[in-house]
């Protein structure tokens, strides 16, 4: 496997792990377990940072002339997965806040 392919698969794997953790955090917050949801956000963020580091290293290698890049579908897919994971994090954090607010309002009504 070529180095670029390996890097792409690493990005895809870490980004997928991050996205799964963020989606799990949403479901966990929906059930009212905000402490566990926060842990899942942290796990997702750790995986996202690994994906981001691999991607940044790739960019640095290209800038240094160590690796010639011609855009290919696998790299585009990897970057798309990275951006999708970032979007999931933003939405997960916002939804967790919304679920907390709903819980507070429901408690006031009861």
**Rounded to two decimals, what is the model's pTM?**
0.91
Where do the domains of the chain lie, and which CATH numbers do they carry?
3-109 (1.20.58.80)
Residue 15 contacts residue 84 (beta carbons within 8 Å): yes
pLDDT tens-digit readout, 3-49: 899 999 999 999 999 999 999 999 999 999 999 999 999 999 999 99
Question: Model confidence over 73-82: pLDDT tens digits?
Answer: 999 999 999 9
Measure the N-to-C terminal CA separation of the chain; round to a whole number of Å: 60
3-state secondary structure of 68: coil
Instruction: Please say whether the beta carbons of 44 and 22 come within 8 A.
Output: yes
So which residues are the catalytic ones?
77
- Quick one: angle between helices 34-63 and 73-109, nearest 10? 160
Question: Positive or negative CA dihedral for 38, 30, 14, 60?
Answer: negative
Q: What distance in Å separates the CA atoms of residue 110 and residue 105, rounded to the nearest whole number?
A: 9
């Amino acid at each position: 496997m070529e180095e670029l392919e390996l890097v792409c698969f690493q990005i895809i794997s870490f980004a997928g792990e991050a996205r799964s953790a963020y989606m799990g955090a949403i479901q966990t917050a929906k059930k009212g377990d905000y402490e566990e949801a926060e842990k899942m956000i942290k796990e997702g963020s750790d995986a996202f940072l690994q994906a981001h580091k691999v991607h940044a290293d790739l960019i640095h290698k290209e800038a240094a002339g160590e690796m010639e890049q011609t855009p290919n579908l696998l790299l585009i897919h990897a970057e798309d997965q990275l951006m999708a994971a970032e979007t999931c994090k933003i939405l997960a954090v916002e939804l967790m806040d919304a679920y907390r607010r709903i819980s507070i309002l429901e408690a006031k009504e009861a």
